Amino acid sequence: MKQLHLKDIDTTAPKGTNKDKIKGKLEDILKDLDKLQNLLYAEGKHSILIVIQGMDASGKDGLTRDVFTSMNPQGVDVASFKEPVKEELAHDFLWRIHRQAPAKGMIQIFNRSHYEDILITRVHGLIDDEIAVRRMEAINDFERLLTQHNDTHILKFYLHVSHKEQLKRLEERLEDPQKMWKYNADDFKESKLWNKYMECYEDVFKQCNKVPWHIVPADQNWYKSYIVASTLQKTLENLKMKYPGMKK
């Protein structure tokens, strides 16, 4: 795969994109997704894994709320992977991830994912390049296992927010009472490592692309949600699912 450079990719919707039209399309897509998710659950032959990655304040939580809460909560799970606890550290780095892999009929959302173990760990020097390469090989094998042996369809989204927009959103957490609970002083420290994170992300896109990445412009929440929702819609439609007949 040709080396991807995030600085060359827009973080906003294409020029001339009509916000109102896109929001109207999104409403229709969400109604359709509700029906498709019900069909996925009823048929029970496939599963969907949504991997959401992005820098702090790229809108991962908001995306999950805006796109997935319109579906039946019985068929959707969300797992967030933060700093591993003692029990998790006693196992291989994918142990806690595999336990959250989706069962057939389910949509599983990873709000941050197995990729954190080759991103933040690498940026902070907790693993070297040799270990990172081995982990990326393991991730490719893990994703191949899910797709080939459990009919899991993996959609990987990187929420591509600009550094300027990220800092603006982090500052809002200091001022907006509804966002203060998200404030973490470490977010500003991590933001100073922006260039290093971009380098590590670009390496991930190059080395872990057997399941393709979707680079989603994330400066505008309405466009970000539309891209993710429409991608999921197409994926579900392509499964050609059918409701099972009456049980005998």
Q: Are 78 and 40 in contact (CB under 8 A)?
A: no
What pLDDT, on the 0 to 100 scale, is given for residue 177? 87
> Residue 234 pairs with which residues in a beta bridge?
none
Query: Could you report the per-residue pLDDT of 177-221, keeping only the tens digit for each?
Result: 888 888 888 899 999 999 999 999 999 999 999 999 999 999 999
Residue keyed to tokens 């990220």:
166
Residue keyed to tokens 């999104």:
26
Please give the Cα distance from 87 to 89 (Å, whole number).
5
What are the extents of the domains in the chain? 35-237
Nearest CA to 152 out of 208, 96, 211 is that of 211
What pLDDT, on the 0 to 100 scale, is given for residue 179? 85
pTM score, whole prediction: 0.96
Nearest CA to 193 out of 119, 128, 248, 136 is that of 119
Please give the Cα distance from 74 to 76 (Å, whole number).
6
Q: Are 105 and 41 in contact (CB under 8 A)?
A: yes
Residue ranges of E strands in the chain = 47-54, 76-80, 107-111, 152-160, 213-217
Please give the Cα distance from 140 to 143 (Å, whole number).
5
Please give the Cα distance from 51 to 64 (Å, whole number).
11
Please give the Cα distance from 111 to 106 (Å, whole number).
16
Query: Could you report the per-residue pLDDT of 13-44, keeping only the tens digit for each?
Result: 999 999 999 999 999 999 999 999 999 999 99
How high does pLDDT run on average in the chain? 96
What pLDDT, on the 0 to 100 scale, is given for residue 1? 61
Q: Tell me, what amino acid is at 8?
A: D
Multiple choice CATH, 35-237, 3.40.50.300, 3.40.190.10, 3.50.50.60, 2.170.150.70: 3.40.50.300
Element (H, E) at 228: helix 221-237
Q: Which residue has the higher pLDDT, 176 or 125?
A: 125
Q: Is the torsion defined by CA of 220, 114, 46, 107 positive or negative? A: negative
